[in-house]
Amino acid sequence: MVLLYQRNLRIRLQASLSMGNQHSLGMKMMLNDIQKINVLPNTFADEIKKMKALVEELTETRQQMTLDQEMMREHMIKEQEMMKQQML
């Protein structure tokens, strides 16, 4: 998306220079495109930060689930051992 804006901006700049078309409306439109190019990467960066935070949260949750499963497994093993001892 950013590359498309950059390509379009480059084409418009070349066209305006070759035709000598430097009126204020054309310049305002080009400045608007430049601002879009600068805003888009920031938007993507924010989205990437949100995704990283979500991945970290999910990783922590997964680690906690693994610990909980290990504790449950240990508890079940202890219960089985106690039952075996009671049967003997």
Tell me, what DSSP letter sits at residue 88? -
pLDDT of residue 88: 76
Average pLDDT across each block of 10 residues of the chain; the chain has 88 residues. List them in order.
64 61 58 65 74 85 88 94 88
pLDDT of residue 79: 94
pLDDT of residue 50: 82
Quickly count: other Cβ atoms within 10 Å of residue 6's Cβ: 13
pLDDT of residue 83: 92
pLDDT of residue 40: 61
Question: How far, CA to CA in Å, does 24 sit from each of 27, 28, 30, 38, 41?
Answer: 5, 6, 10, 21, 27
Listed by start position, the domains of the chain span 2-87
pLDDT of residue 41: 62
Q: How many CA atoms lie within 13 A of 57 on its CB side?
A: 6
Tokens linked to 16? 């305006």
